[in-house]
Amino acid sequence: MLKYESIAADLSRSIEDGTLKPNDKLPTVVELCDLYGVSKITVKRAFDLLTEKGLISSRRGSGTFVKNTTELFEQAGIEPTKGAPGEKDSFSFSQSDKAAGFTKEHEGDDRTVASIVYDFSIVNPPENVARHLNIHPEDFTYYHCRVRCLDDDPMVIEYTYMPIDLIPGLKKAQLYQSVYAYIQKTLGLKISSFHRILRAVPATEEEAERLHTKPGVPMLEIEQIGFLDDGTPFEYSISRYEGSRGQLRDINVI
């Protein structure tokens, strides 16, 4: 095991056993250099590895912190799913290759991917959304609501917030294609990981009309925060799937 991998494993164990708790600030790079007797490059590579695993995130001007993977449950007012005694609370986590987006997911299906855009606007985010995105509620975000379709079948309705400063130049026309492709190919940003909560919810009357189903039918909801490779959150979204028309793939539930 390389030195940076050993440091990352050591910090990971501290997070898993509760020595480092959610939202705890990690020691600085200099402090860890002194502690482990290594260079700054080695510590930064360890931080990069932990960031890719979705365990830590950097806050500009503040430092590096342990991610709070239970915060979404608390905001939703529900208890995390409990495993057997001694097991950790469960949550959903996906690396970028496991969550490339609706368009990429259905490549090769021999069906046409399309979007119906119901809203595209610039708004101040709600306080809980701003907190998840590590921005101020008075900052501006894009907000969009769209339905993703396969051929003529509406499959999922999405409600999404993205910080304008982080994702500049997004246009309504892009919503009819792949927003993730715009972020990665046009802006040159790397999507690293997602934290997700899956739950069952009833369809509202508006959602039922837009998804061609009945009000109150069970839908699969995914509440998601997406992170770039430097740990910066770039997306907060809620997606609701009409489950009888297809299946979700490449969702890892830990």
Q: pLDDT tens-digit profile of 149-160?
A: 988 889 999 999
Question: pLDDT at position 109, please?
Answer: 61
118 located within any domain: yes
Least confident of 35-39, 95-99, 166-170: 95-99
CB 25 within 8 A of CB 63: yes
Question: pLDDT at position 56, please?
Answer: 86
Residue 13 belongs to a domain with what CATH number?
A: 1.10.10.10
Higher pLDDT, 144 or 230: 144
Do 57 and 135 lie in a common domain?
Answer: no
Q: How many domains does the chain have?
A: 2
Question: pLDDT at position 104, please?
Answer: 60
250 located within any domain: no
CB 125 within 8 A of CB 164: no
Do 100 and 190 lie in a common domain?
Answer: yes
Residue 214 belongs to a domain with what CATH number?
A: 3.40.1410.10
Q: Does residue 94 have a pLDDT over 50?
A: no
**Range of 191-200, 205-214, 236-245 with top mean pLDDT:** 205-214
CB 125 within 8 A of CB 137: yes
Closest CA to 249 of 218, 213, 222: 222
Do 121 and 225 lie in a common domain?
Answer: yes
Query: What are the residues whose beta carbons fall under 8 Å from the beta carbon of 126, sequence distance 6 or more?
Result: 137
Do 121 and 210 lie in a common domain?
Answer: yes
Do 49 and 21 lie in a common domain?
Answer: yes
37 phi-psi bin (left φ>0, alpha ψ -120 to 50, beta other): left
CB 83 within 8 A of CB 144: no
pLDDT category, 93, cuts 50, 70, 90? very low
Do 36 and 100 lie in a common domain?
Answer: no
Amino acid, res. 225: I
Structural domain range at position 148: 75-245
Do 118 and 187 lie in a common domain?
Answer: yes
252 located within any domain: no
Mean pLDDT across the stretch 101-129? 82
- Residues in a beta bridge with 63: 59
Q: pLDDT tens-digit profile of 12-57?
A: 888 878 888 888 899 999 999 999 999 999 999 999 888 877 788 8
Do 51 and 114 lie in a common domain?
Answer: no
